[in-house]
Structure 1
């Protein structure tokens, strides 16, 4: 019997996927901005391939998105929008692989980075290779959406990597064909077989040796190393404090109240405090860590004045923000901004030609 999502580790879902889903909702005349805010997510924080959204918030957003759009096929629609660079280091590693087989091996190994609790099992079936997707836990409403996005997305990925549709491929789905699928059938270049014993995508074995059009040996090596490090960090940073921080990082309004975060994680405020204490952390310190990161980003990458930054970070005024920033870093926000701009200007200056 599989564990429920509430009983399993919450490794989060990449924020960029919810950003893409929000764009789809906009095209379907759904107020995606208002929907994100109702779920407690900050729309401006979702355009990152690195930030992750808590599983509970992702599930709530997907469920509301399907209801408000009236489109149960959002997972298939999202699959069409999945450009490989949006998958972060894994997408780059896949793109720079030598051949399709190597690319699919990388997907199997590092899938946890993009879709936690989904595993890939490969087996031969005559002259074809079956990539079966297995979910470790019951993801509830999120599960069908994720499986649609992943299975149909793998066909899209194959097209991107090879420059043409993968011939003789197919998709298998457990269960009866849903009514909404008829509207998508003509857009999918491979057979889709429902009532199967497994959720899987199937490629002919011979195509696995096909070269990738973006192959780059050096980039492949560096991006694989990045995937390995990201996987290590994700699995090591699976404590409760990381789950709390993940909610803080993407919350609206910011900073979130302790009660808001506790509700998102389905625990009481008392339990949240106790579990953080067990890890020698505190809610306020986590909020301040995220504030410091955001402050640095806004000072370095925007022209917002100190009052605007203070407001974005939840401070009453610029003076309070300045005092806090100086306490964290030892320098004022203005000094930090000037130093970063001077360093950037120097690094962009052309090197003087060497003279004989």
Structure 2
């Protein structure tokens, strides 16, 4: 089966991730300015942690690092020097998740915030949970160092967050190197080379294990910010961008359609017309977003329904209760009793 990934002409990556790569390279003794010059970037492009840089420029950076780092496997070396903090919202979102499963769900939804240089997939195979990465340009000279650094960083970031963390296996697209010691040191599991995909396998039971830095209130704020950033990526559909901005506006009360249109540099009439062309409407997207967030709060949290109503921008809880019954045929209390993790306090 083909797993070809189609590159957007606007493919980009996080400036925060690019900063983290440069910080790691500096710690390993490479000159930052020389690297920036070699890949055609400048400091101004990296100043905003939520900014984007062209994927092609970061690919050139990886190629330069591969040429300059004196190590049998530069990707493994760099991955061990990467620190997750500079990755900005995506990194903090994953670390503050309640469980590994929740973190993986977030990683799938928001992976484009990190970059558009490939696609993450998660598959269950028996008692294993497989995290596969399918890169753009798998034959590009810089792909090996880039993906190995990313896989190493996954392991380094997850290990301290999860009691009992270990890998069942790791696989790589390239042929087996002569020296396997650097791989064994990082992954500490059976290794497979010349495989169809880059992947690591975890015990499926780890999916429900709590993360030690779980922080539900922070999660909510980070998700709102992540939705807004996702909505602003150029390749997102207008409806996806509207949903992201609605999630951000709902945190501050009743959404304002005019303000949302201005954020998208559109008139309200143009917004309405273009949404209609995509087969939806502003009111429909608002209702769908509210319903999705309401069900998520009721399933995963313990906030009273009245507080959820306020979080969703309703001026009165009774209006939320009526809307929720229309959506689901249940009251919020009945929905929580069926699907939630426990009663509200």
Give the TM-score normalised by structure 1. 0.58
Aligned ranges for residues 175-254 of structure 1 at < 5 Å? 175-179=174-178, 181-236=180-235
Query: Which protein, 1 or 2, shows the higher relative CO under an 8 Å CA cutoff with sep ≥ 6?
Result: 1
Using a 3 Å threshold, how does the CA distance of structure 1 residues 20 and 77 change in structure 2: closer, same or farther? farther
Using a 3 Å threshold, how does the CA distance of structure 1 residues 39 and 195 change in structure 2: closer, same or farther? closer
Aligned ranges for residues 42-57 of structure 1 at < 5 Å? 42-43=42-43, 46=46, 48-57=48-57
How big is each residue's C-alpha offset from its partner over 1:18-71, in whole Å with a ceiling of 9 and x where there is no partner? Answer: 333333433444333223224332246536532222222212222122212344
**Superposition deviation, residue 150 in structure 1:** 2.3
Q: Which residue of structure 1 lines up, in the alignment, with residue 166 of structure 2?
A: 167
Is 1:104 matched up with 2:104?
Answer: yes
What runs of 5+ residues in structure 1 fail to find an aligned partner?
239-356
**Superposition deviation, residue 137 in structure 1:** 4.9
Q: Which residue of structure 1 lines up, in the alignment, with residue 83 of structure 2?
A: 83
Decide which moves more: 211-220 or 76-85. Answer: 76-85
Using a 3 Å threshold, how does the CA distance of structure 1 residues 28 and 103 change in structure 2: closer, same or farther? closer
Q: Which residue of structure 1 lines up, in the alignment, with residue 22 of structure 2?
A: 22
**Superposition deviation, residue 115 in structure 1:** 2.5
- Which secondary structure does the structure 1 equivalent of 2:142 belong to? helix
Using a 3 Å threshold, how does the CA distance of structure 1 residues 190 and 82 change in structure 2: closer, same or farther? farther
Using a 3 Å threshold, how does the CA distance of structure 1 residues 229 and 24 change in structure 2: closer, same or farther? closer
Q: Which residue of structure 2 lines up, in the alignment, with residue 279 of structure 1?
A: none
**Superposition deviation, residue 223 in structure 1:** 1.1
Q: Which residue of structure 1 lines up, in the alignment, with residue 39 of structure 2?
A: 39
Residues in 1 aligned to 2:60 and 2:126: alpha-carbon distance in whole angstroms: 41
Residues in 1 aligned to 2:47 and 2:179: alpha-carbon distance in whole angstroms: 29
Residues in 1 aligned to 2:227 and 2:175: alpha-carbon distance in whole angstroms: 38
**Superposition deviation, residue 143 in structure 1:** 2.2
Q: Which residue of structure 1 lines up, in the alignment, with residue 74 of structure 2?
A: 74
- Which secondary structure does the structure 2 equivalent of 1:219 belong to? helix
- Which secondary structure does the structure 1 equivalent of 2:20 belong to? helix
Decide which moves more: 63-72 or 214-223. Answer: 63-72
Aligned ranges for residues 259-278 of structure 1 at < 5 Å? none
Does the 8 Å CA contact 1:111/1:118 hold for their aligned counterparts?
no
Does the 8 Å CA contact 1:158/1:165 hold for their aligned counterparts?
no
Q: Which residue of structure 2 lines up, in the alignment, with residue 260 of structure 1?
A: none
Does the 8 Å CA contact 1:154/1:201 hold for their aligned counterparts?
no
Q: Which residue of structure 2 lines up, in the alignment, with residue 266 of structure 1?
A: none
**Superposition deviation, residue 126 in structure 1:** 1.2
Residues in 1 aligned to 2:44 and 2:164: alpha-carbon distance in whole angstroms: 35
How big is each residue's C-alpha offset from its partner over 1:82-103, in whole Å with a ceiling of 9 and x where there is no partner? Answer: 4333222111221221101110
Q: Give the total of aligned pairs.
A: 239
Does the 8 Å CA contact 2:130/2:202 hold for their aligned counterparts?
yes
- Which secondary structure does the structure 1 equivalent of 2:212 belong to? coil
- Which secondary structure does the structure 2 equivalent of 1:98 belong to? coil
Q: Which residue of structure 2 lines up, in the alignment, with residue 133 of structure 1?
A: 133
Decide which moves more: 171-180 or 210-219. Answer: 171-180
- Which secondary structure does the structure 2 equivalent of 1:26 belong to? helix
Q: Which residue of structure 1 lines up, in the alignment, with residue 123 of structure 2?
A: 123
Using a 3 Å threshold, how does the CA distance of structure 1 residues 136 and 43 change in structure 2: closer, same or farther? closer
